[in-house]
Amino acid sequence: MPRPGCEEVVLLTGFPSFQARRLLEELVRPDRGDRGSSFVHAVVQAKFLDRARDDLEALPLEQRARVNLIEGDAAAMDLGLSGRELRALSSEVDRIHHAAHVSYLGVDRKTAEHVNVNGVREVLEFARMCPRLKCLVAHSTAHVAGDRAGRVLEAELKAGQAFRNVVEETRARGERMLHAAMDRLPIAVLRPAIVVGDSTTGEIDRFDGPYLLFALILNAPPDLAIPIPGQADAPLPLVPVDFVARAACHIGRDPRAPGRTFHLVDPTPLAARRVFELVARAGGRKSPRGFIPSNFARAVLSAPGLERFATSPRGLLETLGTDVSFDAANTNELLRDTDIRCPPLESYIGRLVEYVQLRLRERRAKHEADVHDPLG
């Protein structure tokens, strides 16, 4: 039975990661128009419980009351729950948003396989226990396309591509398991492109991917034009996290979604050159001058200080070296009669840059305080 005052009960994995947090906020947001209210069970690993509670406390009371934190592990057997907990949970869940994954390119293979492959396996097992299940919404990534170039269709997964890292490989393996189960379970797969910060606030959880070059440009002297690695004219497919969360909630509730895959992308992605020109302009820096080969770029991107702001330059270089675009016919069909649209990057790049500059100033001040602290 539905929870009193709620039209659906949702199981969410991955909380309190940045994308899962934004998804939870969207699920319990009161002004969702034609969307029914949700009660959310969020499975949280023990080591993240304090952070999850803090994030929950930031929500209004009415929204907090519709969230239940459950200590568990989405990639562990039975989600890390007791048999009694598992049966009680499965009896009332209408929808699952599986957002738990690891995307850090420095991750070891064992961890990547545990989270990205075993996590899918365990969520599928749980889904089979849910008699009320309307949709398992699996949050994948457009990077399952690997090194493919050209136009990638939503219905395509195995197309002879090679994978450039263990993250792409394991997430593609997880997605293959999901597709294999679509004839037995109501599953919708979402593939966002490169997720950046909120289009209204600029907020992001970490500096990774394109943020590495954001930091490089914004850290440069104002009169220095930085050369950028990769292909200047290749599209850089970015999507803001708020669009991803809104689209995910809407698609997950649409009865036409199960059995299909959805690319969440900017319909008109800008070329890499244009993206970094906009970053430089918003940050009061000179526009990048020219592009440099990726092998030489690794030396540039290991400049002193940048390692404090980003996690993996290699992933960015691989992205900038691929001329790929993503078809979104399924997504366009389900969002057609809504106001959910990916905003053009030009409309929010200034807010992304402002947030990066704020974080850079904070980290620089902390670093300087640590250096000069006689007790440090």
Instruction: Write out the residue range of the structural domain in which residue 220 sits.
Output: 211-236+269-323+344-365
151: number of Cβ within 10 Å: 10
12: number of Cβ within 10 Å: 26
Q: Are residues 123 and 143 in the same domain?
A: yes
Q: Is the whole model's pTM more than 0.85, yes or no? A: yes
Give the 3-state secondary structure of residue 204: coil
Q: Please state, for a pLDDT cut of 90, what percent of the chain lies above it.
A: 69
CATH of the domain at 173: 3.40.50.720
Q: How many distinct structural domains can be found in the chain?
A: 2
Lowest mean pLDDT among 76-85, 224-233, 244-253, 272-281: 224-233
Of 264, 281, 304, which marks where a domain is finished?
A: 264
Report, as an integer, the average pLDDT of 190-215: 91
Lowest mean pLDDT among 14-18, 130-134, 279-283: 279-283
Residue 1 identity (one-letter amino acid): M
Q: Are residues 274 and 190 in the same domain?
A: no
For residue 339, is it within any domain?
no
Q: Is 272 exposed, middle or buried (0-12, 13-18, 19+ CB in 10 A)?
A: buried
- Separation between Cα atoms, residue 114 and residue 286, nearest integer Å: 44
**pLDDT of 340 strictly over 80:** yes
For residue 201, is it within any domain?
no
Report, as an integer, the average pLDDT of 19-23: 97
- Separation between Cα atoms, residue 119 and residue 168, nearest integer Å: 15
Angle at 356 between CA 352 and CA 360, to 5 degrees: 175
62: number of Cβ within 10 Å: 11
Q: Are residues 135 and 226 in the same domain?
A: no
**pLDDT of 275 strictly over 80:** yes
Q: Are residues 219 and 180 in the same domain?
A: no
Of 220, 246, 264, which marks where a domain is finished?
A: 264
Report, as an integer, the average pLDDT of 164-168: 92
Spatial neighbors of 169 by CB under 8 A, at least 6 apart, are: 112, 163
Q: Are residues 18 and 113 in the same domain?
A: yes
Q: Which two tokens stand for residue 208?
A: 């990774």
Handedness of CA 233, 140, 113, 161 (dihedral sign): negative
For residue 151, the cross-strand partners are 325
The phi, psi pair for 213, rounded to 5°, reads: -75, -30
Give pLDDT tens digits for 43-71: 999 999 999 999 999 999 999 999 999 99
| 78, 122 contact by CB (below 8 A) | yes
For residue 189, is it within any domain?
yes
**pLDDT of 263 strictly over 90:** yes
Give the model's confidence band at 35: pLDDT under 50 very low, under 70 low, under 90 confident, else very high. low
| 175, 220 contact by CB (below 8 A) | no
For residue 371, is it within any domain?
no
For residue 330, is it within any domain?
no
Q: Are residues 29 and 118 in the same domain?
A: yes
For residue 155, is it within any domain?
yes
Report, as an integer, the average pLDDT of 273-290: 87
**What is the phi-psi region of residue 270: left when phi exceeds 0, alpha when psi lies from -120 to 50, beta otherwise?**
beta
Q: Are residues 31 and 172 in the same domain?
A: yes
For residue 300, is it within any domain?
yes
Average of per-residue pLDDT values in the chain: 88
Q: Which residue has the higher pLDDT, 31 or 212?
A: 212
Q: Are residues 140 and 222 in the same domain?
A: no
Report, as an integer, the average pLDDT of 280-292: 80
Q: Which residue has the higher pLDDT, 31 or 208?
A: 208
Alpha-helical runs (H) found in the chain: 18-28, 49-57, 61-64, 83-90, 109-113, 119-128, 166-180, 211-219, 241-253, 272-282, 294-300, 313-320, 329-335, 349-372
Q: Are residues 256 and 226 in the same domain?
A: no
